[in-house]
């Protein structure tokens, strides 16, 4: 971590309140991932079959979600920086519940898109920025580890995909969505109540440290060095650094793989001869293995050069995508799940960790939101392109090759990143 984030401290032996914020996001992220991240691929087949839509038409909803996220993320980030996270998360919870209720009763394509827009805005207001912003302020030395744990809840969501598929087959996709909307309220409201924007008003310092005297004045009396959870660059300062644009491009490229594969994983495995049950089991394995990436890369980024970690994520992502082309037996899917699962898992905490590493916490929400908005083009194109190419050719092969080639560009970009401490010195000159 940069020197500007270090202080003299002693560590409290009690459970630090920041970990409760981490756990609240774990729970909320877990539930949302079951339905909207991995689960939409399970809903795709039944919904398109009953409604008579193509996969490309269904995929447009995911693209619209990305577009709305690109517009909303900077605004949400600004609101979180200015007013705190709690009200934002609470509003998002009710938006998602409303969107899912609408989705359960859709009768036309335009209504489907509108309901998805409600869900998209709600997701932007609950998952990610509204929690990563306070977590970045509650932790410094342990920030990578905290971010890794914050996003690990989704790891276990894949286990429940077979149950989601069973529910759809037993009671239908509409009734399943109705029950899902109830769960959002039941889980979302308690999670919201845990959120605290920064530690100082509650008598804490980052990481649960206690301030110690660490300097002396001219009379030999020790003075206390003030430590704040809020430091770093403004938005203007951040966007004037090459690191901002390189990171935005890298994460935009990595997002292409996730936006495409989350929607098309189940359909892809079905297209090469596997049953839906086998496909959902593979995704369950994928999500479990992504936990290794979330925790492993979160911990690793507390200690290693971020450019090496990012390049590694790019390599694993490309290898995972290309492995799809060589699957002929079920056990081959485990290779895909291992490679792309770890890569995807690592990319989740990597964005907030590196944003705070390079630019601090002063405008963390706004900078993160702006960075996410810049990556929306690829994230919109990728799932629609995969759906279109499948509808045109009956195969995902060409789409996978194109996607792999584009994501490979992230590897050299990661290697030309400047060191984070040099950015910190420019933003916070000594």
Average pLDDT over residues 31-52: 86
Percent of the chain with pLDDT over 90: 28
Q: Across residues 14-22, what is the average pLDDT?
A: 88
Amino acid 393: pLDDT: 85
Classified as helix, coil or strand, 196 is coil
What distance in Å separates the CA atoms of residue 287 and residue 284, rounded to the nearest whole number? Answer: 5
Is 80 exceeded by the pLDDT of residue 4? no
For residues 257 and 219, the model is more confident at 257
How far is the C-alpha of 153 from the C-alpha of 24, rounded, in Å?
10
131-152 confidence digits (pLDDT tens) = 888 998 888 888 888 988 988 8
First to last CA, the chain: 16
What does the DSSP assignment read for 119-167? HHHHHHHHSSHHHHHHHHHH-STTHHHHHHHHTGGGGGGGGGHHHHHHH
Inform me whether the pLDDT recorded for 197 exceeds 60. yes
Q: What is the mean pLDDT of residues 363-386?
A: 82
Does the pLDDT value for residue 35 go beyond 90?
no
pLDDT in tens, 254-277: 888 878 887 788 888 888 888 878
Say whether pLDDT at 216 is over 60: no
Burial 355-388 (b: 16+ CB within 10 A, else e): bbbbbbbbbbbbbbbbbbbbbbebbbbbbbbbbb
Encode pLDDT of 312-324 as tens digits.
Answer: 999 999 999 999 9
What pTM, to 2 d.p., does this model score?
A: 0.74
Domain boundaries, the chain: 14-202+229-427
If one compares 422 and 402, the residue with the highest pLDDT of the two is: 402
Instruction: Give the integer Cα–Cα distance in Å for 332 and 381.
Output: 28
Of 43-52, 173-182, 362-371, where does the model show the most confidence?
Answer: 173-182
Q: What is the pLDDT of residue 225?
A: 46
| Res 3: pLDDT | 37
Confidence of residue 203 (pLDDT cuts 50, 70, 90): confident
Among the listed residues 35, 45, 64, 38, the one whose alpha carbon sits nearest the alpha carbon of residue 381:
64
Give the number of C-alpha atoms closer than 13 A to the C-alpha of residue 275, restricted to the C-beta side. 5
Q: Work out the mean pLDDT of the chain and round it to a whole number.
A: 83
Say which range, 8-17, 153-162, 188-197, 414-423, has the weakest mean pLDDT.
8-17
- CATH for 14-202+229-427 (3.90.1200.10, 3.40.50.2300, 1.10.10.10, 1.20.1250.20): 1.20.1250.20
Q: Is the pLDDT of residue 228 over 80?
A: no
- Confidence check: pLDDT of 229 > 70: no
Closest CA to 236 of 35, 421, 427: 427
Give the model's confidence band at 167: pLDDT under 50 very low, under 70 low, under 90 confident, else very high.
very high
CB atoms within 10 A of CB 393: 11
């Amino acid at each position: 971590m940069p020197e500007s984030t270090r202080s003299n401290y002693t560590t409290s032996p009690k459970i630090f309140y920041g970990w409760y914020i981490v756990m609240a996001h774990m729970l909320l992220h877990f539930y949302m991932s079951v339905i909207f991240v991995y689960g939409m691929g399970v809903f795709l087949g039944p919904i398109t079959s009953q409604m008579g839509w193509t996969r490309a038409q269904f995929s447009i909803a995911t693209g619209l979600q990305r577009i709305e996220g690109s517009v909303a993320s900077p605004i949400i980030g600004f609101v979180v920086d200015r007013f705190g996270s709690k009200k934002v998360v609470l509003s998002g919870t009710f938006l998602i519940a409303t969107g899912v209720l609408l989705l359960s009763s859709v009768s036309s394509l335009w209504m489907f898109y509108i309901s998805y827009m409600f869900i998209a805005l709600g997701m932007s207001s609950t998952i990610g920025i509204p929690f990563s912003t306070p977590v970045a302020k509650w932790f410094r030395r342990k920030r990578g580890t905290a971010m890794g744990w914050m996003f690990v809840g989704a790891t276990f969501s894949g286990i429940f995909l077979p149950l989601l598929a069973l529910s759809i087959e037993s009671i239908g996709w509409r009734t399943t969505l109705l029950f899902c909307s109830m769960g959002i309220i039941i889980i979302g409201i308690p999670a919201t109540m845990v959120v605290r924007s920064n530690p100082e008003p509650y008598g804490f310092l980052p990481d649960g440290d206690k301030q110690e005297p660490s300097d002396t004045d001219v009379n030999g009396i020790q003075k206390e060095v003030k430590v704040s959870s809020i430091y770093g660059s403004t938005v203007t300062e951040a966007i004037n650094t090459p690191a901002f644009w390189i990171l935005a491009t890298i994460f935009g490229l990595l997002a292409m793989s996730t936006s495409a594969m989350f929607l098309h994983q189940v359909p892809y495995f079905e297209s090469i001869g596997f049953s839906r049950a086998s496909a959902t089991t593979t995704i369950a394995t994928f999500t479990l293995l992504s936990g290794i990436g979330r925790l492993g890369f979160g911990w690793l980024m507390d200690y290693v050069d971020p450019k090496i970690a990012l390049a590694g994520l790019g390599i694993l992502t490309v290898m995972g995508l290309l492995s799809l082309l060589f699957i002929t037996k079920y056990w081959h899917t485990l290779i895909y799940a291992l490679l792309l699962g770890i890569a995807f898992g690592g990319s989740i905490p990597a964005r907030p960790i590196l944003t705070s590493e390079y630019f601090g916490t002063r405008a963390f929400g706004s900078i993160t939101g702006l960075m996410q908005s810049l990556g929306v083009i690829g994230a919109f194109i990728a799932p629609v392109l995969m759906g279109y190419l499948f509808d045109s050719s009956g195969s995902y092969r060409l789409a996978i090759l194109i996607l792999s080639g584009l994501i490979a560009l992230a590897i050299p970009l990661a290697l030309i990143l400047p060191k984070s401490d040099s950015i910190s010195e420019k933003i916070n000159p000594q």
